[in-house]
Structure 1
Amino acid sequence: MVDFFWNLGSFILALGILVTVHEYGHFWVARKAGVKVLRFSIGFGKPLLTWHDKYGTQFVVAAIPLGGYVKMLDERVDDVPAKERHLSFNAKSVHARIAIVAAGPMANFLFAIVVLAVMYMVGVQSVKPVVGSVVEGSRAEQAGIMPSQHITKIGDDDITTWQDATFALMSSLGEQSVAVTVRDEQFQTRVKTLDLAGWKLDQQDVPPLRSLGIVPFRPQATLTIAAITANSAAEQAGLHVNDMILTVNDEKISDWQQLVHLITQSANKSLQFSVKRQDSIKIITVTPQARIGAQGTQQGFLGVAPVVEPWPEGYIETRHYGPLDSMVRGTQETWRLITLSFDMIGNLITGQISVKNLSGPVGIAVGAGTSVSYGFVAFLSFLALISVNLGVFNLLPLPVLDGGHLMYYIIELFRKKPVSEKTQEFGFKVGALLLIFLTCFALFNDVSRLSF
């Protein structure tokens, strides 16, 4: 329950910031273009807080924090006095209307640049992209990629973090192969050809690296308990922090993954644990709780976290940049996120990425909560990513989105006359239905990922 409210609060905070930025883009350009703005609302439904500025614009914070809007004077929907017609949105040139509509997504992109620049100035901590293991029979193994190799380049992209590697691979979807440059422990560099023919992201929640057989290096988890979840099976059975797990049902436990596999297969089944506690051996009966896993199957849940060995020296890097370099890197990273987002939309359409990977409000809420719990820098990175996604999504040519309005105005620019109201109305209905369908589908995916 605590996690639920934490995720909800983080979601409201993140969405509130991003919606405000988006709508302020529309608002600012509309004012500059001489359009009268009637209302600037963050959220929908019952107003919780309202005030007016000297221009008569009503500012609203509403009860349902799932979006926002800027209402402008418009003769198509309002009775506009003759003396104010020059202030209405529809009276402005098509170039002005295009600028006003495009300003929302552009504000999201500019916000991402600023947020990423701040992140780079604060300092970015990253993990060196060293291969931990390679899945047997995978594409990575066939390419000759081996454990302990350091990935330095994928295609034409220099790789310094696992995020770089993931983005580079996702950008290569649809290609027949990609060159992967690796450096071994003797500092010898080799170029491997990774076969990508027929590669698709068609499994829910399987990362691109893992689907190719690359498992990033992580320090080994020991069999000593570092933390126990409140009201979990472990707490109820009497396991303690610092207990070292020796055997389960007289079977010797050699590593943490073996224990995890055993627990997930033992929902509601009694297990006899042998643990070392200080200088004595304790025998404790534990019954893992049953939960529904990501694939919809019942899994056992113990509620413990292990003590993890420290990172080897040099594997964790913290990089700081000056203001100018930070702005340059923020701009480059935002552009990469924009192009990657459009690539992913194209791959969804062509089937290279499964629609199972679509995520909606619940997924965003969980991501927001997780990023906040990791700290300020992680939350900034999350805000930038979602801000770019929001901007790109709004540029899709669906009539209910900014991209749909832009599509009509660009057509008007070439036809020298507006698209008929009947055609626009039909487009809005179709666009609304598609948007509702996408939202419901993404929400279904989110719920299917949750464990209850």
Structure 2
Amino acid sequence: MEQLLWSIGGFIVALGLVVTFHEFGHFWVARRCGVKVLTFSIGFGKPIFSWKGKDGTQYQIAAIPLGGYVRMLDHELDPVSENEVPQSFRAKSVKERFAIVLAGPMANFIFAIAALWLMLMIGMPAVKPIVGDITEGSIADAAGLQSGSEILAIDQRRVQDWQDVNLALVRRMGSSETTFEVLEPSGQQREIRIPLDTWRFDPDRESTIGSLGIDVFRPKILSNITQIAADSPAASSALAVGDKIIGFNGTRSEDWEQIRSFIAERPNTVVTFLIDRDGRERSLEVRLGEIEGRGYLGVVTEAEPYPEAYRFTLQYGPIEALQGGVARTWNLMGLTMNMVGKLLTGDVSVKNLSGPVGIAQGAGAHASYGLVYFLSFLALISVSLGILNLLPIPMLDGGHLLFYVIEWIRGKPVPEQVQEVSFRVGLLLLMTLLAVTLFNDVGRLFS
């Protein structure tokens, strides 16, 4: 329930902010061009809160939080006096209309820069991309990547943390190879070529990093019990917080990964654990439970502290943070355009697309992690919305921009009949896209 509330709240705040800035871009430039704005709406449908501004614009928040719009005066559709005609959107020049429409996506990019600037000013806790275990026989193993290596750059682009690594790998989806620059445990710095011809990445099942056979470095998990879940098999047994598991069914082992694997393979069976309690060994029988076909004990164990040498805070002063915000926004724009291109060529499956449910889950997760993580998510969503709106699809800003370019070349507007048919096709494409993303979201929920 708590995660659901985070998801709903995060979704409303995230989409509300990026949509507000998008529509404000249209609104601000329209006003500067002398266009009268009739309505500024966040959301669609029936207004749940509205007021009339001194400028004559009706500002409102509507019931369906899936977008917004700015309605401008149109002298060919609205009853206007002769004096009001110059304030009509359609009465403006092609350049002015182009600027008004382009301002929405541009506002999204500016918002992303501001969000990332604030994130870098506050400071984001991060860890260096130190490679953990390498899966035997994997792509990374065949390329010669060593456990304990620090990834310094991918394809000549510097990476600072695992988020940078993930974004760099997403950019290479559909490519034949990528190049890692690494600092090996021996202190030697070298370049590793990783072929991607056989790379198969399913985002529903694994991470980009994991799909190459790379494990993120994590501190060793110990077998000392620090928490016991309520109503769990452990809670129904004689196990207690502070116990250290040192064996199971006659096998002595303090390797938590081995113990966890043993538990997972034996759902609904009785297991004898050997524990160390206050320096004395005891044997305790526990009937394991089952979750999704796997054995379940219900304990949390202690982990070794994360090495301080691997931790750092990504934080800059105002000027450097602004430069970082611009650079990261530019990279996100390039990555998004790259992914759109790969979707069109078939290098990336439409199964990777997410819709409102996926956005809500992402917003909730990032909001629960803290402000800096939520700001990072806001920047990603804002850039995605800006790029989406620039696609030359009728009904989107990009479709209108395309018509204005054609009008500028022809010297006269695109015929109304052509525009009407195009808008219907655009609406069909958008509804199809929404259906596909919702189908993907629902499939992930029940997978």
TM-score where L is the length of structure 1 = 0.89
Report the alpha carbon displacement of residue 28 of structure 1 after superposing the two structures with TM: 0.7
Q: Which amino acid aligns with 2:89?
A: F
Task: Name 1:368's counterpart in structure 2.
Answer: 363
Q: How far off its partner does 1:256 sit?
A: 4.3
Aligned-partner Cα distance in 1 for 2:90–2:295: 60
Shift of 1:346: 1.0
The one-letter amino acid paired with 2:289 is: T
* Structure 2, unpaired ranges of 5+: none
| Aligned mate of 1:285, from 284, 287, 291 | 287
Deviation digits for residues 90-137 of structure 1, max 9, x if unmatched? 111111111111111111100111111111111122111111021222
Following TM superposition, by how much is the alpha carbon of 1:12 offset from its aligned partner in structure 2, in angstroms?
1.0
The verdict on how the C-alpha distance between 1:248 and 1:360 changes in structure 2, with shifts beyond 3 A counting, is farther
User: 2:154 aligned with 1:154, yes or no?
Assistant: yes
Aligned-partner residue type, residue 150 of structure 1: E
* CA deviation map 1:262-306 (0-9, x unaligned): 666666x3554637484455433232244xxxxxxx666666544
CA distance in 1, matches of 2:383, 2:136: 36
Residue matched to 1:418:
413
Q: Which residue matches 1:335?
A: 330
* Equivalent AA in structure 1 for residue 273 of structure 2: S
Using a 3 Å threshold, how does the CA distance of structure 1 residues 232 and 389 change in structure 2: closer, same or farther?
A: farther
Name the CA distance, whole Å, in 1 between partners of 2:169 and 2:89. 44
Relative distance call for 1:78 and 1:306 in structure 2 (3 A) is farther
1-structure distance, mates of 2:228, 2:427: 46
Change (3 A) 1:67 1:164: same
Measured after TM superposition, the shift of residue 313 of structure 1 is: 2.5
Partner in structure 1 of residue 403 of structure 2: 408
The partner residue of 1:442 within 429, 437, 441 is 437
Map 1:38-77 onto structure 2 (within 5 A).
38-77=38-77
The match for 1:274 is 273
Query: Closer, same or farther in 2 for the Cα pair 1:153/1:407, shift >3 Å?
Result: same
Give 2:311's aligned amino acid: I
- Mapped pair 1:183 → 2:178: no
Whole-angstrom CA distance in 2 between matches of 1:273 and 1:437: 55
Distance (whole Å) between structure 1 residues aligned to residue 272 and residue 64 of structure 2: 49
Secondary structure (helix, strand or coil) at the match of 1:51 reads strand
Pick closer, same or farther for the CA change 1:410–1:273 going to 2, 3 Å. Answer: farther
Which amino acid counterpart does residue 173 of structure 1 have in structure 2? M
CA deviation after TM superposition for structure 1 residue 325, in Å: 0.8
CA distance in 2, matches of 1:180, 1:215: 15
Going from structure 1 to structure 2, the CA distance change for 1:134 and 1:428 (only over 3 Å counts) comes to same
Q: Is the 8 A contact 1:394 1:401 kept in 2?
A: yes
Equivalent in the alignment of 1:210 = 210
Contact 1:180/1:194 (<8 A) preserved: yes
Q: Compared with structure 1, are the counterparts of its residues 187 and 425 closer, same or farther at alpha carbon in structure 2 (3 Å cutoff)?
A: same
> Does 436-445 or 103-112 show the bigger shift?
436-445
Cα RMSD for the two superposed structures: 2.6
Instruction: Check conservation: 2:232, 2:289, Cα contact below 8 A.
Output: no
Q: What is the alpha-carbon distance in structure 2 between the residues aligned to residue 350 and residue 384 of structure 1? A: 26
CA contact (8 A) 1:263 1:288 kept: no
* Structure 1 residues 128 and 73: alpha-carbon distance in aligned structure 2, compared to 1, 3 A threshold: same
- Taking the TM superposition and a 5 Å limit, the aligned residue runs for 1:98-109 are 98-109=98-109
Equivalent residue, structure 2, for 1:294: none
TM-score, L = length of structure 2: 0.90
Residues 95-134 of structure 1 mapped to structure 2, 5 A cutoff: 95-134=95-134
Q: For structure 1, which runs of at least 5 residues remain unmatched after alignment?
A: 291-297
Cα gap change, 1:121 to 1:140, in 2 (>3 Å): same
Residues 175, 196 of structure 1: 8 Å contact kept: yes
Describe the shift of the 1:186–1:58 C-alpha distance in structure 2 as closer, same or farther (beyond 3 A).
Answer: same
Partner of 1:84: 84
| Alignment partners' CA distance in 2, 1:448 and 1:91 | 48
Q: 1:364 to 1:288 in 2, by over 3 A?
A: same
Change in CA separation of 1:79 and 1:187 when aligned onto 2, cut-off 3 Å: same
User: Is 2:378 the counterpart of 1:379?
Assistant: no
Q: Counterparts of 2:384 and 2:22 in 1: how far apart (Å)?
A: 12
Work out the CA distance in 1 between the residues paired with 2:6 and 2:422: 39
In structure 1, the residue corresponding to 2:417 is in which secondary structure? helix
Residues 245 and 254, structure 2, Cα contact 8 Å, conserved in 1: no
